[in-house]
Structure 1
Amino acid sequence: MDCATLYVSPAGNDRWGGGLADPNPEHTDGPFATLTRARDELRRLRAAGELEGRAARILVRGGVYELDEPFTLTAADSGTAEAPVVYAAFPGEVPVLSGGRRLRTWSAGAVEGRACWVADLPEVRAGRWFFTQLFVNGGRRFRPRLPKHGYYRFASVAAGGHTPWLEGPSEAKFRTRDLQDWRHRDDVKVVALQLWFEAHHRIKALDLAANTVTFRAKSLGSLIDEKGLPARYFVENVFEALNEPGEFYLDRAEGRLYYLPLPGEEMAAAEVVAPRLAEILVFAGRPDAEVRHVRIENFAFRHAEWEYGPDDPGSIQAAWKVPGAVVFDWATDCVLYGCEVSHVAQYGVEVRTGSAGNRIVACTLFDLGGGGVRIGHEALERSNETHRGTLRGRADGRPMETTVSDCEIRDGSRIHYQAVSVWIGNSGCNRILRNHIHDMNYTGVSCGWTWGYAPTATVDNRIEFNHIHHINWDRILSDNGGIYTLGIQPGTTLRGNLIHHIGCYHYGGWGIYPDEGSSGIRIEGNIVHDTDDAGFSTHYGRDNLVRNNIFALARAAHVNPGKQEAHRTTVFTGNIVWWRGCGFRNAEWPRGHFLFSRNLFWDGVGGDLDLGGGVRLSEWQALGQHSASVVADPLFRAPEAGDFTLREDSPAVAIGFRPFTLAGLVGPRGRRGVRPAAYEEWPDEALARPRPIVHSRLEETPGGAIRLTLTNLGRAVAGGRVRLVVSPPEAVQFRRRPLCAVEGLQPGETRTVEFAVKRRRPLAFVTVETVVSGAGFVPTLEFLGRPPEWRVPRLEAVSTVERVFATLAGLSRQPVQWARSLALAEVALAVAGEDLAVLVKVKEARLVSGPRPWEGSCVELFLAGAGERTEAARAAAPGELRQVFLVPPVSGQPVRVAFQDGDRQAADPSLRVAARLTADGYEVAALLPLAFLRIGARADALLAEVAVTAHRAGGARLRGTLFGAPRPYCSPAGYGTVQVEDR
């Protein structure tokens, strides 16, 4: 195809014609001097009809182009699929688009006797410019901070430490001399670290006599860190701390920049750049005028400035408020190829709502204040700590479809520690492929922005063949992972990734981390090793499949199955788990919640494997868990050196493990500088072919039938078969064959099928599972519950709590079991006057204290009125559920009773408790006023669940519940009904 070509050069002139790569000998014609002039010339040619049917290319010579404003492309600059518009580096050269200004005028000065360079900047003094970064000879320099290394820690937090998100304390106590009334205190920043985020505070007031600092805004969280201590923090931009080479200070009032040079730096020769612009390149489309088919090839984008306002403490997760230096806004099918983005304060690249089909390929993103690439939301309407406002998506319903492939993303999150290397919000059909992601401070790849099971656009994302390592290795934050997911994600795959050296400050540092609500995700063919916490850890979710992975050498329990709910979270099958010194996080794992099968385990010893705290593999297998699993050395070739290739005689083949290697498959193609010069020569991904994704749900109807709902969330027609299986099989009889043939299920179509059933046995819960065949069908499992009834007497009032032991001794007791086999406790209840009387006998070999009641030896009572069973009712009337803790005497502390009050445990004088030790554990008695429980004094029924946490002699922490409610602390769904009968 014919191509119109223009040229841009530092030696050019915007009055010339732009058709020559170099000035002519007479200097009367040659290249343009600016990209803006070349862009405008293309607009003129298009308006004149001279680009009809022609591609357009602007070749840019090497050199630095300092921008006065972001280089902006609009719909008027678009190409077509057949004739794209290409802005490319001249062959063999690197044009640099800089959002900064080189500082050339310096004078010699001194700060506290130390030689420094001084630059006078009138624009700063006039309030038209301020910057928080400086780059000298291509390297980042830093503002002076205290302490120079490590962190201070607040002495105490004024608000007591328990607050809702965004409602944290606005003041804190500091240790003597940690904070001072420094010069230009308004420009000093206090950066506090908590959990998975940091807060950026400005100082409003400082009381040196009381050692109290007051911030300009409330903190994001409690300022109590994950260890239960006042938060760590450091102070930045302190003039009095300007004392080490490589530090700089910008005095806003004086308009003066001070820089302490590194050894060998010379004032006359140094290239010093200060950033001015918040954006360097912007694809600036609109809903009615998108930017289409524009390619940017082999540029370097450097020097961008951005910071939170003085009254904004920052983001609660993933630095979601932080924008990008290169921005795709309502851009479609545009490309960033072979480019560098570096020396910026924010994310390198941002893809905003309304954009679709864009590609970031073979790019290098480094020295980033934020993360690498942030892919935003297709649409979102929310007003809380994770988003404020309404984003309307595309009218044509096209998903975001962003590809980030063959990139290197490194040395980022240097200012915004919580920023993610690649962040995907509420958007689908994105491809994160063959990237090398390393030396970042929080998480490698994060996908999803919904906490729970609400509908999402996060469908069919693929995170495959990435090399992710040394993430949070400085252990600044917690609750992070190599790959992190949130919310329902049908069709999402995490495949072929090599993940290692993932760190954390106190907890987290997981390899693959499906967090809240993560569902419908396939995780296969990954290698995860050398993580501070579990190689695989889930919070809660449903219908995830984890198979044919290798998890090795974690420093803590290798697998964390997460919370129990009324469905199955994960099937974990055909994996190799190899450890030394730690095994699994011990918990009660019913088959319906988290199914292990056909895995290979090895701890270097063998035998009847201890899966955590003394619970043996054989015990699990007797319960039907870990079927066909083996304990054997997998025979890796050189695991200590990171080679997890299996020898030919590996016993892993016997469990159905499919040997694989990631050598040569992970990370960018075209290494060692060998890659196509232009994007049009880059190999086609061939991974975006439409496919069906069938999302399925099971529920019990009010009439007692089982309803199956199937929705095709993919972009191709689905067909297959779904068969229902009940466990135990004798519990339910189907009126007809429980089989459903699905043909021609169109994209976006939903079908429902109901199966009439008859209950044969009065079981509290049965499971119904789908067995599926057909492309895109995901199996699911649900508990169908009819919580049992328990009849207890109404008695005369009991005068003292000690008399409860004798009064309830003769009543029938209900067992609390671990894994439905081992009795942990027996419970007796009665209504005694205006109190609920409780007696629990616990079998426990070793009493343990914990920072929170449920983390040690404890009995938990969950109580609610009989009319508040559903989660919807619970949400409508928060506080109707009461959670009470009975903690036995342990570690020299007396027996105590507390209740859950928001996010803290509180005492109430009306709650009475007594305990006595027994030969095999303890007994605890309690009198709980019905009025406190919000239950009527003459109520003839209430809802209850009892959970017991106990410990084996070998250390295993066992937890069982009376009725099997999946999440008793959130909802009364699954509680038993306690009928109160008059005697």
Structure 2
Amino acid sequence: MTTTDQTAFYVSTQGNDSWSGRLAAPNADGTDGPFASLEKARDAMRAGDTDTTHVRGGTYRLDETLTLDSRDSGHSFAAYEGETPVISGGELVRGFTAEGRGLYSAKLDHASGLDLTIGGVRQTVAQTGDVDPADPTSGWHVLRAAEGGASKTVFAAKDGDIPADLTTHDGLVVQTFDTERLKDDITAVRAIDGDRVTLADDASYALRSGGTYRVMNDAALIRDAGEFGWRAGDDALVVKPEDAAALLKDGAVVARLGTLISAKDASDLSITGLTFTDGQYDGAALSLTGGHGNAVGGNHFVNVGTAIALNGTDNSLIGGNAMEHLGSSGITMSNAANGNHIYANRMEHIGEIVKGGAGVGGVGSSDSVISHNDISHAPRYGVSLKEWDDGQINRNNMVEFNSIHHVGQETADGGGIEMLGRSGTPTGSVIRGNDVQDTGGLATDSDGNWLTDHKGWGISLDDLTGGVTVRDNFVKGFSWGGIYVHGGDGNLLENNFGVVGDPDHAFIRVEWVPKAGDQARPDDTTIIRNLTAGDMPIEQYWKLMSPGQNFLMDGNLAANGKGYGPNDAVFNPGFTDSANGDYSLKEDAAALSHGIHDLSWSSMGSDGYGADATMPHFWGDAA
């Protein structure tokens, strides 16, 4: 006789929504067993006192977003122990036909977008420029301003950059950057008339001469293996696979849903151990709106747009998740998503389609802790907390012990950690104990020449950001400035270690904001007991441009170069092995006698999570 478990429901790819859902597997006579769908489990939990659903391994392809609301508060969706359930928002496409030249096609009811995987590997959408994955400047064409001046809707292409026979169709899009490469936009192409390209929607910035663009998603543009595109003439997805046998056997997956699970006003909701995949680049795989006290841990997000979006959701735990090959961002917070703890997540290869996002980004969110995350290969930011006006205030945030490497390589004015504070109101925020390396910086000039190592800040307090304590951070591989103070008042920079790789760049850069009028100059800035070294001899560790009143920069140590304040010093600080990248201080390091203490190296990144006893509950290793 088969017994039922009254404490939980089960979902399985071998299940049936007409069964009780109380069994982890079908019974012997096939009359009862687990549910087949998450929707059925959701409804069953709503109807009774059971608040947990265990999801068995296998792939669950969603035709529509799973929606949750306040009725789902206190409920849990968790992976069955030892198994990997995969939640997919994609359409599995089979039945490809060989066309020669390595191309294969399959008919679809709807145009493919920019997100396609084969064997779980994100493919590259065909585009007008030839792409070299190792070169972030490749694949982009230089545009000219439209006749009559820079425009947000029209630009001029150079002769030959766009094939003469390329026509507009459903699925054809263009991605544009102005010269500063602050934000990219992807929009449908409304018209191509000779060298004149008209966008269906406005770009964020007027497109000046020297900006860049690429037209994407036409099958005729396919060049290399691993590329795909849409052929509107016969409604066909065309791919050039690296492994044709695998394509013919297993097919390809076209992302159809932007959001796989959406919760509105749900509190104390728990989602653990699931894999989210095949999400469109402009959506969030998991979207939480409103509610509080939610827990998202130990999940795997791969080949989706943004992994997790918190919109007005507060006091929630987002920890131990793995996020990789994301079309846009890792985790976003907006509309007073306050008091959240984002910790011990591993994020890599972010912004593979949209270039302006971050590993962790927030607008108008306060009292949050972003700690012990590993963030790498993001085209603009590692962590970015923005305040555009008084209605979107960021206050009392803590960004600590994160490991942020190889970011900002495809845009300018980005970098490792950014706070933007347009209101000029003191933030009360802290940036401490972070390891920030290789923050790039890329733009173009008015002639379309590439500007490398251009505004790739390590830590940036941008546009009037004030009242921030920046302490005990390690910054290396930046351009222009390791720590940048741009117009804000009352900032403290203390006991940070910086390694300067180019004598034209400065570890400390303090600058005014002319457009801010009376608030232009950063007053009450204190820069003390910081340590600067150089990969090569440096003239000075600072660049000061109208630093404002009550400016104190003293007691700092330069390994080479020269000092600024009367209590600055220049001598060998006593690194353990800087030639091999170990910038910790020896026990008898001379820097210790100058009031400088060593950094908490073992606490940085997700490996340092376990050493911090103050951290909240952790769900174990991410999938």
Query: Partner of 2:287 in structure 1?
Result: 327
Please say if 1:342 is aligned against 2:330: no
Please say if 1:652 is aligned against 2:594: no
Q: Distance in 1 between matches of 2:141 and 2:92?
A: 38
Change (3 A) 1:436 1:294: same
CA shift, 1:352, in A, is 0.4
Q: Distance in 1 between matches of 2:197 and 2:522?
A: 48
Alpha-carbon contact 2:433-2:472 (below 8 Å) kept: yes
AA aligned to 1:116 is L
CA shift, 1:477, in A, is 1.2
Q: Distance in 1 between matches of 2:494 and 2:617?
A: 37
AA aligned to 1:143 is V
Please say if 1:29 is aligned against 2:13: no
Q: Distance in 1 between matches of 2:550 and 2:232?
A: 59
Q: Distance in 2 between matches of 1:215 and 1:134?
A: 24
Structure 1: gaps (5+ residues): 80-84, 286-290, 308-322, 379-398, 610-616, 621-625, 672-678, 684-983
Q: Distance in 1 between matches of 2:521 and 2:480?
A: 27
Alpha-carbon contact 1:546-1:571 (below 8 Å) kept: yes
Q: Distance in 2 between matches of 1:3 and 1:522?
A: 52
CA shift, 1:403, in A, is 1.4
Q: Distance in 2 between matches of 1:329 and 1:198?
A: 26
Q: Percent identity?
A: 25
Q: Distance in 2 between matches of 1:172 and 1:349?
A: 34
Alpha-carbon contact 1:189-1:237 (below 8 Å) kept: yes
Please say if 1:560 is aligned against 2:540: no
Query: Partner of 2:446 in structure 1?
Result: none
Change (3 A) 1:658 1:175: same
AA aligned to 1:131 is G
Please say if 1:274 is aligned against 2:254: yes
**TM-score, L = length of structure 1:** 0.56
Query: Partner of 2:516 in structure 1?
Result: none
CA shift, 1:518, in A, is 0.7
Structure 2: gaps (5+ residues): 132-137, 443-450, 514-519, 611-615
Task: Map 1:396-475 onto structure 2 (within 5 A).
Answer: 400-450=338-388, 454=390, 457-473=393-409
Q: Distance in 2 between matches of 1:341 and 1:494?
A: 27
Q: Distance in 1 between matches of 2:545 and 2:405?
A: 32
SS in 2 for 1:331: coil
SS in 2 for 1:502: coil
Query: Partner of 1:494 in structure 2?
Result: 431
Q: Deviation per CA, 1:479-512: give whole Å up to 9, x if none.
A: 1120000114532111110010110113211100
Please say if 1:136 is aligned against 2:132: no
Q: Deviation per CA, 1:746-799: give whole Å up to 9, x if none.
A: xxxxxxxxxxxxxxxxxxxxxxxxxxxxxxxxxxxxxxxxxxxxxxxxxxxxxx
CA shift, 1:628, in A, is 1.2
Query: Partner of 2:105 in structure 1?
Result: 118
CA shift, 1:523, in A, is 0.8
Task: Map 1:658-697 onto structure 2 (within 5 A).
Answer: 658-668=597-607, 682=619
Change (3 A) 1:153 1:269: closer
SS in 1 for 2:186: strand
Please say if 1:482 is aligned against 2:416: yes
CA shift, 1:18, in A, is 1.0
Q: Deviation per CA, 1:375-403: give whole Å up to 9, x if none.
A: 1121xxxxxxxxxxxxxxxxxxxx61111
Query: Partner of 2:240 in structure 1?
Result: 260
SS in 1 for 2:250: coil
Q: Distance in 2 between matches of 1:179 and 1:334?
A: 48
Q: Distance in 1 between matches of 2:43 and 2:18?
A: 12
Task: Map 1:557-706 onto structure 2 (within 5 A).
Answer: 557-563=506-512, 565=520, 568-579=523-534, 580-582=536-538, 583-584=540-541, 586-587=543-544, 592-603=549-560, 609=562, 617=563, 626-668=565-607, 682=619
Alpha-carbon contact 1:10-1:33 (below 8 Å) kept: yes
Query: Partner of 2:135 in structure 1?
Result: none
SS in 2 for 1:653: helix
Please say if 1:43 is aligned against 2:46: yes
Q: Distance in 2 between matches of 1:72 and 1:244?
A: 39
CA shift, 1:563, in A, is 1.0
Q: Distance in 2 between matches of 1:35 and 1:633?
A: 61
Q: Distance in 2 between matches of 1:405 and 1:634?
A: 32
SS in 2 for 1:640: helix
Asked which structure has the greater CA Rg, the reply is 1
**TM-score, L = length of structure 2:** 0.87
Query: Equivalent of 2:79, from 73, 89, 113?
Result: 89
Alpha-carbon contact 1:190-1:202 (below 8 Å) kept: yes
Q: Deviation per CA, 1:32-61: give whole Å up to 9, x if none.
A: 111111111111114xxxx5xxxx321111
Deviates more, 1:180-189 or 1:414-423: 180-189
Please say if 1:191 is aligned against 2:210: no
Query: Partner of 2:315 in structure 1?
Result: 357
Change (3 A) 1:201 1:45: closer
CA shift, 1:189, in A, is 2.6
Query: Equivalent of 1:57, from 52, 55, 62?
Result: 52
Query: Equivalent of 2:276, from 277, 282, 301?
Result: 301
CA shift, 1:651, in A, is 2.3
Query: Partner of 2:129 in structure 1?
Result: 147
CA shift, 1:593, in A, is 4.9
Alpha-carbon contact 1:152-1:178 (below 8 Å) kept: no
Alpha-carbon contact 2:281-2:354 (below 8 Å) kept: no
Q: Distance in 1 between matches of 2:484 and 2:45?
A: 53
Query: Partner of 1:789 in structure 2?
Result: none
Q: Distance in 1 between matches of 2:546 and 2:143?
A: 41
Change (3 A) 1:600 1:669: closer
CA shift, 1:31, in A, is 0.9
CA shift, 1:71, in A, is 1.6
SS in 2 for 1:145: coil
CA shift, 1:404, in A, is 1.1
CA shift, 1:638, in A, is 1.8
Q: Distance in 1 between matches of 2:152 and 2:306?
A: 28
AA aligned to 2:213 is Y
Query: Partner of 1:101 in structure 2?
Result: 91
Change (3 A) 1:642 1:417: same
Alpha-carbon contact 2:602-2:608 (below 8 Å) kept: no
Query: What is the alpha-carbon root mean square deviation over aligned residues?
Result: 2.4
Change (3 A) 1:327 1:627: same
Please say if 1:200 is aligned against 2:186: yes
Q: Distance in 2 between matches of 1:600 and 1:3?
A: 66
AA aligned to 1:38 is A
Query: Partner of 1:706 in structure 2?
Result: none
Q: Distance in 2 between matches of 1:571 and 1:64?
A: 55
Alpha-carbon contact 1:502-1:509 (below 8 Å) kept: yes
CA shift, 1:198, in A, is 1.6
Query: Equivalent of 1:526, from 463, 470, 473?
Result: 473
CA shift, 1:292, in A, is 1.4
Query: Partner of 1:175 in structure 2?
Result: 158
SS in 2 for 1:230: coil
Alpha-carbon contact 1:374-1:423 (below 8 Å) kept: yes
Query: Equivalent of 1:235, from 201, 204, 215?
Result: 215
Q: Deviation per CA, 1:108-155: give whole Å up to 9, x if none.
A: 223xxx13222122x22xxxx643211000101122112213145446
Work out the number of aligned pairs and report it: 579
Question: Which structure has more RCO (C-alpha within 8 Å, separation ≥ 6)?
Answer: 2
CA shift, 1:670, in A, is 7.4
CA shift, 1:222, in A, is 3.4
Please say if 1:18 is aligned against 2:2: no
Query: Partner of 2:460 in structure 1?
Result: 513
SS in 1 for 2:48: helix
Q: Distance in 2 between matches of 1:157 and 1:581?
A: 42
